[in-house]
């Protein structure tokens, strides 16, 4: 029998759909159900690699983790990765297919709809319930004819819909009621409840608002979810960078992450921001850059365009000046490529420029290739100086997503990869310069390894004559914290009724 479905749609982007889906996945898991997330089409520069090497949106990987399952390409069959010049790379079932503009993509949607339905059907055949996430708003009337991510998905599987509004941004009454007013009768009938998200203060003060929404909409308000900052769940929308990082009143190490126009996988640096005594800032100018202890050049979907931006903004010169002063620098993926002498593009994968000078921070050269490398990896530290002093032999997990091959001297190799996509390998990764102060790597998720992360931070602190003391991490599971918060904020009896699930039995 096909698994049940419930869908979370929102009045706009960044109202909290992904987080609510994550919470529901953990709640259903904790209640004994086999649950999976699904988002037919995701536009994001934060992506993840499935065990079989497919690329999906980071949010669906997080939701799968909350559900206690391995992520698969069925959970996000279409991923759009924005590039320069208003184009996006189209990733279908984990593999890049083409780069296209908006108009051409809309013409492509009719071909992609069967991909969406097949993926959803596959998940429903395997799981008790599938929690579906929409995108943007279902009330974008100019796009509704060709959309394949909101109400068309709900109609296909007759999914009940929870409509979420963000009270923190203001106008929650207008956004919720206005969205409902713009839906056609067939779609409106699928909306079963409203959710108010990101409420600050005493929720009892919002009771008149709940009564107003229910009277005007004819729908129940399933709950009011409070605004929170103390639960660490990876974010995928770049809007989250407006409040990203950490700003403790006192800190020993100041880290500046360059906020590139096409920054990708910025959740790589969340573990750094959580450490005691560490400040992480996202910067876009030399004025914001200041005098950090560590500069991080993050991943980028469009390396050459972001390299040009570094020069145009003056940040390239600012980084070079700080490099001369001995500031530590780490580059990840696209940031690693930018740090070299040259970036070659003989097949014009990214641009028509065949060779572009890099920042010259490392003696490496990168050549773009039309084939994207997407792998989960296992690796080991093989260098033992500078940033990596006292880390030799530490093993770690991570993942690769890149379309380039980097040539460098073996003497500077930082890491050794022993496994790629579940298969043994013998591959050198990354480069550490002679000073030990400049490190580059293709590995995403490197800082999630506590031993490696803290060893690097200790070396930076030692260079300042400081000592770092780290708190023992005794935090409860972040997904359980989120699930408890949402469970206590929503009428879960109503949610179960809407989803047609029996909490007392897993029999469908």
Residues involved in catalysis: 333, 444
CA atoms of 235 and 233, how far apart (whole Å): 6
Cα angle for residues 129, 45, 318 (degrees, 5° grid): 150
The SS3 of residue 193 is: strand
Q: Tokens in use for 219?
A: 């729908």
Could you please report the per-residue DSSP string of 436-501?
S-EEEES-BTGGGSHHHHHHHHHHHHHHTT----PPP--PPPHHHHHHHHHHHHB-HHHHHHHHT-
Q: How far apart are CA 267 and CA 279, in angstroms?
A: 15
Contacting residues for 293 by C-beta, under 8 A, at least 6 apart: 253, 254, 255, 327, 328, 460, 463, 464
User: Which of 116, 86, 80, 115 shows the shortest CA–CA distance to 102?
Assistant: 86
Nearest CA to 479 among 21, 36, 161? Answer: 21
Alpha-helical segments (H) within 278-357: 286-289, 303-313, 315-324, 334-338
Between CA 151 and CA 138 the distance in angstroms is 6
Helices (H) and strands (E) in the chain, counts: 15, 25
Q: Are strands 35-38 and 129-133 parallel, antiparallel or unpaired?
A: parallel
| Nearby residues of 234 by Cβ (< 8 Å), 6 or more positions away | 46, 58, 59, 62, 267, 270
Q: 């991510």: which residue's tokens?
A: 149
Residue 492 is encoded by which pair of tokens?
Answer: 């879960």
- Residue that the structure tokens 């450490």 belong to: 275
User: For the CA atoms of 41, 45, 48, 49, what is the dihedral angle to 10 degrees?
Assistant: 90
Q: Is 367 exposed, middle or buried (0-12, 13-18, 19+ CB in 10 A)?
A: middle
Q: Give the separation between CA 257 and CA 189, rounded to whole angstroms.
A: 46
């Amino acid at each position: 029998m096909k698994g049940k479905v419930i869908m979370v749609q929102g009045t706009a982007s960044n109202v909290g759909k992904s987080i609510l889906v994550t919470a529901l996945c953990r709640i259903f898991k904790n209640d004994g159900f086999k649950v999976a997330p699904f988002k037919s089409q995701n536009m994001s520069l934060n992506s993840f690699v499935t065990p079989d090497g497919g690329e999906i949106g980071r949010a669906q990987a997080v939701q799968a983790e909350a559900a206690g399952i391995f992520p698969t390409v069925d959970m996000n069959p279409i991923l759009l990765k924005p590039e320069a010049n208003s184009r996006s790379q189209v990733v279908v079932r984990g593999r890049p297919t083409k780069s296209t503009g908006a108009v051409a993509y809309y013409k492509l949607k009719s071909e992609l709809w069967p991909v969406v339905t097949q993926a959803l059907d596959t998940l429903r055949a395997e799981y008790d319930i599938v929690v579906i996430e929409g995108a943007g708003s279902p009330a974008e009337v100019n796009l509704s004819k060709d959309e394949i991510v909101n109400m068309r998905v709900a109609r296909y599987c007759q999914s009940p819909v929870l409509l979420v509004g963000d009270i923190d941004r203001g106008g929650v009454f207008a956004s919720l009621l206005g969205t409902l007013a713009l839906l056609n009768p067939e779609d409106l009938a699928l909306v079963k409840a409203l959710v108010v998200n990101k409420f600050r203060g005493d929720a009892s003060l919002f009771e008149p608002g709940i009564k107003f929404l229910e009277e005007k909409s004819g729908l129940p308000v399933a709950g009011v979810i409070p605004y929170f900052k103390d639960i660490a769940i990876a974010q995928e929308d770049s809007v989250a960078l407006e409040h990203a990082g950490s700003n403790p009143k006192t800190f020993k190490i100041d880290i500046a992450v360059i906020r590139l126009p096409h920054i990708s996988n910025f959740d790589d640096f969340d573990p750094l921001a959580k450490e005691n005594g560490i400040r992480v800032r996202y910067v876009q100018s030399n004025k914001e850059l200041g005098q950090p202890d560590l500069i991080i050049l993050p991943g980028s979907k469009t390396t050459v365009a972001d390299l040009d931006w570094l020069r145009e903004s003056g940040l390239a010169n600012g980084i070079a000046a700080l490099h001369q002063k001995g500031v530590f620098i780490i580059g990840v993926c696209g940031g690693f490529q930018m740090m070299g002498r040259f970036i070659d593009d003989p097949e014009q994968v990214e641009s028509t420029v065949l060779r572009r000078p890099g920042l010259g921070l490392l003696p490496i050269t990168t050549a773009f290739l039309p084939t994207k490398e997407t792998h989960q990896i296992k690796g080991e530290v093989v260098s033992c100086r500078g940033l990596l002093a006292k880390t030799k032999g530490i093993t770690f997990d991570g993942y690769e997503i890149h379309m380039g091959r980097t040539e460098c001297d073996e003497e500077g190799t930082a890491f050794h990869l022993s496994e790629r996509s579940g298969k043994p390998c013998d591959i050198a990764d990354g480069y550490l310069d002679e000073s030990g102060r400049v490190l580059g790597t293709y590995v995403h998720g490197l800082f999630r390894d506590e031993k490696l992360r803290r060893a690097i931070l200790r070396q930076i602190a030692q260079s300042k004559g400081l000592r770092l003391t780290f708190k023992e991490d005794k935090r409860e599971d972040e997904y359980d914290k989120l699930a408890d918060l949402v469970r206590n904020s929503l009428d879960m009896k109503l949610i179960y009724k809407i989803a047609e699930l029996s909490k007392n039995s897993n029999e469908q």
